[in-house]
Amino acid sequence: MVERKLLVLFGSQTGTAQDTAERIGREAKRRHFQCRVEALDSYDVANLINELLVIFVCATTGQGDPPDNMKMFWRFLFRKNLPLGSLCQLDYSVLGLGDSSYPKFNFVAKKLHKRVLQLGGNPLLPVALGDDQHDLGPDAVVDPWLLALWDKILALYPLPPGLEIISPDVRPPPKYTLHYLAEDSLYPNGGLLQPIAPRAVPSELHPFAAQVVSNQRVTAESHFQDVRLIEFDVTGSGIMFSAGDVVMIQPQNCPEDVQQFCQLLHLDPDRRFVLKPTEPDASLPALLPQPCTIRHLVTHYLDISCVPRRSFFELLSYFSTNELEREKLQEFSSAQGQEELYSYCNRPRRTTLEALWDFPHTTCAIPPEYLLDLIPRIRPRAFSIASSTLAHPDRIQILMAVVRYKTQLSKPRRGLCSTWLASLNPEQGDFRVPLWVKKGGMKFPADPDTPVIMIGPGTGVAPFRAAIQERVAQGCRGEEWSWEGLWMSLAADRSVFSIPEEGTGGSGGFGQAQALLCLNGSKLGSGAGKDQSLVYAACVVIHRMCCKAAPWVRTGLCRGSFLALCKWRWVVGLVFACTRSCASALGPSSFPWLSCGSWQEAEAGGGELAALGGSS
């Protein structure tokens, strides 16, 4: 008899694909499959040739890129020397999770499906494409796809004689068992963070604890948006980066929320415990020390501020002893209740902690060993680096907007990472932030004489600040790219404000690279209309720059300039429209890349315009 083994592999950036993969794993165990759920980069891809049944769940990030925990697998799978029939024994199916507002919607899932098929794999179903833009989210595709998938799988691998599918009413076992330690147990460091041997380069598993050396608000107190310029000391870390790279920061929950969570679940925050996996081949969470305290677990690992997913309510329903609460939880976890779940959770951005408050009888009955099944880990946040090592050695600076907004709930919504970072005042203590650096998608030209038009609304200016610091440090101070008078006139109109640089005196930042300027959104209202007005104003600025600097535009753009865009993909069409209007004043030959017609064509054509993308 054929072994009933199923492998579920996921590539996840935000946790949605992982959550879906774990859901498939739970359903597989109800059907008596020996099932493993692993991240694609945690799996030894050389063993894929021996697998018989694999489900791939993968997200698409950025401009059609694979998630970070899938990149090694991706590179291996697309080696040209792999034999075309090497996966002929493999039955597989691919579920993609993406956003149809992006041009390369579910590009990774589509390409993965084609590649496995090319290598001889046997698809059980056509590739399924979940869409965040759907009213019900990806589940609108996932639910019917799963029903069809299990029909196919059970036709190939029937249930063993005498066995039936385990009822959904039976609680699944936890991934880990939690064992409390006696008070007199001897463990180093009191069961907290254990010392880690120095690593050559900090990474997600081994971040560098960087000291916060400054935390400055760069917008006026009266401005609607609190934007911070935060500087970290990375001396001795071995971190190397260049303009366009990204710093990853691991945030933590605030002490007040941690205390509330422990009170709700009747947990002693200072109690120590060790974890043991329930599956023989499973591994422990890499980011949790052993042993650990409840306080450390909740503060640094459990994302109690995230919006809970459907699986949260499904698992929570098993612990409910209150009939009304159990019925509502089961409704939220059913396919029919997804619209109501969206109205309860997603639309108002209700947090996991707030959801637990709404089900008090169930919450107090949650066994501690299910905490890691119930609540996902805190994900690191990415910020474009806003400084250059040439200007600030052993320092990393970021420009960060503090996330705070209103929904139908009375309490304002706050961003976990930005609120935490904004609260770290280096004048009041020694604060350390776990961080590491990874390469960004934005690459600036190596030749410092190459002109660059930089468009970065709001905190999107961050990578350009780093690029300008780098060029200034390299001695690029030519008058040909200086229009101080124009910027001064715009500043007088309150169309722009500058982010001052160190050592520029009272010039407001014009002394170094003619300042970094942001459009003043407070004059333009709020919401989507404000965004469009902001971009329109940016185009007006570009138009006025081009008209006042016609000689530079003609010489600069004709010799191959770069257009760098950070944030707001849809700004590109307006920028092209603006430059077309400029061409009427300067002549079409001043803009040789306009013939490309669109951002996508310019990027694919590789002409005079180099399209650069980034995130902040």
Bind-site residues for FMN: 12-17, 59-62, 97-106, 132
What's the CA gap between 516 and 460, in Å, rounded? 11
**Distant-in-sequence, close-in-space partners of 493: CB < 8 Å, separation ≥ 6:** none
DSSP letter at 14? S
**Which residues are annotated as part of the binding site for NADP(+)?**
459
Distances from the Cα of 108 to the Cα of 63, 105, 410, angstroms: 10, 8, 40
* Helices first, then strands: H and E counts in the chain: 19, 22
What's the CA gap between 225 and 404, in Å, rounded? 9
**Distant-in-sequence, close-in-space partners of 527: CB < 8 Å, separation ≥ 6:** none
**Distant-in-sequence, close-in-space partners of 168: CB < 8 Å, separation ≥ 6:** 30
**Which residues are annotated as part of the binding site for FAD?**
349, 381-384, 415-418
What's the CA gap between 180 and 293, in Å, rounded? 9
> Given the structure tokens 């993968």, which residue do they identify?
58
> Given the structure tokens 């077309």, which residue do they identify?
580
**Which residues are annotated as part of the binding site?**
12-17, 59-62, 97-106, 132, 349, 381-384, 415-418, 459
DSSP assignment string, 343-375 = IIIITTT--HHHHHHH-HHHHTT--GGGHHHHS
> Given the structure tokens 């407001």, which residue do they identify?
508
Enter the tokens of residue 404: 């705070």
Looking at the DSSP bridge assignments, the partners of residue 399 are 229
Enter the tokens of residue 371: 């905490």
SS3 566: coil
Looking at the DSSP bridge assignments, the partners of residue 498 are 517
383's enclosing H/E stretch is strand 381-384
> Given the structure tokens 């590179």, which residue do they identify?
75
470's enclosing H/E stretch is helix 462-473
Query: Under a CB-based contact definition with an 8 Å cutoff, are residues 470 and 391 in contact?
Result: yes
Amino acid identity of residue 523, one-letter, is K
What's the CA gap between 48 and 34, in Å, rounded? 16
Q: CA nearest 172: which of 288, 383, 73, 28?
A: 28
